[in-house]
C-alpha cells in the first residue's frame, strides 16, 4: 500500500500540484473563511490529481521508451489499471467536493472547465502549436471559479497575472526534456521555438505578470 501511495504522489506531479493547491487556498482566503478555503483547495487537489495522473498514463509509452525511471509507471511502482481507477475516483471527488463546497454550481462548472482544458493538453494539445492554450484557460479559470462562486467578478489584473505566470511556466517546464520531446514528436510551441526563444518568451511573460500585479 505504501508503494502504491508513493507512486500516486509521484504521478500527481507533486511539486506543481502542491504549488497550485497552495495558490488556490491563498486565493480563496480573499473570499472565504479558512475552513471554506480548505474545502476549495481539496477540490482543486482532486482535479490536479486527475490532470497529473492522466498525463503519466498517456505518456507511459513515451516515458518507457525514454527510460524515465523516475516515472512510477515505468518503475513499476503502480500499474496502468490502478492508475486508471485512481483517475476515475479523483474525478468523482473533484466533482463532488466542488458541488458540495463553497464553489457551488457556477464555480464547479468553471473548475471542471479548467480540468477539461488541462487534460486536453495531455490528450494531444501539447504536441501542437496550441500547447499554451490549456494553461491560459485552466489557470485563468481559477480566480473566476473562486470569485463567481461568491457572486463577484475577479479583477482583470488578477486573472491576467495567473495567465502570464502559468504560460511562463509552460515555456520553462518543457526545457528539461526538450531534446527528448522533439525526438519523440512532442512538438508543442516551446519545442518548435527552441530553448532560447522559449526562455525569452517566458522572461517577457514573467516581467509582464509582475508589472500587471504591481500596477493593479
Q: What is the CATH number of the domain that holds 210?
A: 1.10.600
Nearest alpha-carbon partner for 48 in 10, 4, 94? 94
* Number of independent structural domains in the chain: 1
Summarize pLDDT for 134-192 with one digit per residue, the tens: 999 999 999 999 999 999 999 999 999 999 999 999 999 999 889 888 989 999 999 99
Please compute the mean of the pLDDT values over residues 98-109 and round it to a whole number: 97
Summarize pLDDT for 123-142 with one digit per residue, the tens: 999 999 999 999 999 999 99
Report the predicted TM-score, pTM, of the whole model to 2 decimal places. Answer: 0.94
95: containing domain? 2-214
Distance CA 94, CA 88 (A): 10
Please compute the mean of the pLDDT values over residues 87-116 and round it to a whole number: 97
Amino acid at each position: 500500500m505504501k508503494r502504491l501511495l508513493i507512486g500516486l504522489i509521484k504521478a500527481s506531479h507533486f511539486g506543481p500540484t502542491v504549488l497550485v493547491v497552495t495558490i488556490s487556498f491563498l486565493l480563496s482566503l480573499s473570499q472565504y473563511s479558512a475552513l471554506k478555503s480548505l474545502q476549495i483547495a481539496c477540490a482543486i487537489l482532486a482535479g490536479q490529481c486527475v490532470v497529473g495522473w492522466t498525463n503519466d498514463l498517456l505518456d507511459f509509452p513515451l516515458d518507457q521508451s525514454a527510460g524515465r525511471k523516475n516515472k512510477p509507471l515505468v518503475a513499476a511502482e503502480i500499474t496502468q489499471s490502478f492508475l486508471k481507477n485512481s483517475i476515475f475516483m479523483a474525478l468523482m471527488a473533484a466533482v463532488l467536493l466542488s458541488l458540495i463546497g463553497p464553489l457551488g454550481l457556477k464555480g464547479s462548472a468553471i473548475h471542471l472547465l479548467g480540468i477539461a482544458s488541462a487534460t486536453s493538453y495531455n490528450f494531444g494539445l501539447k504536441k501542437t502549436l496550441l500547447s499554451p492554450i490549456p494553461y491560459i484557460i485552466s489557470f485563468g479559470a481559477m480566480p473566476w471559479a473562486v470569485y463567481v462562486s461568491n457572486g463577484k467578478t475577479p479583477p482583470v489584473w488578477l486573472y491576467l497575472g495567473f495567465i502570464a505566470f502559468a504560460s511562463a511556466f509552460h515555456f520553462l517546464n518543457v526545457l528539461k526534456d526538450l531534446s527528448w520531446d522533439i525526438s519523440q514528436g512532442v512538438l508543442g510551441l516551446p519545442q518548435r521555438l527552441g530553448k532560447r526563444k522559449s526562455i525569452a518568451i517566458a522572461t517577457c511573460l514573467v516581467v509582464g505578470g509582475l508589472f500587471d500585479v504591481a500596477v493593479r
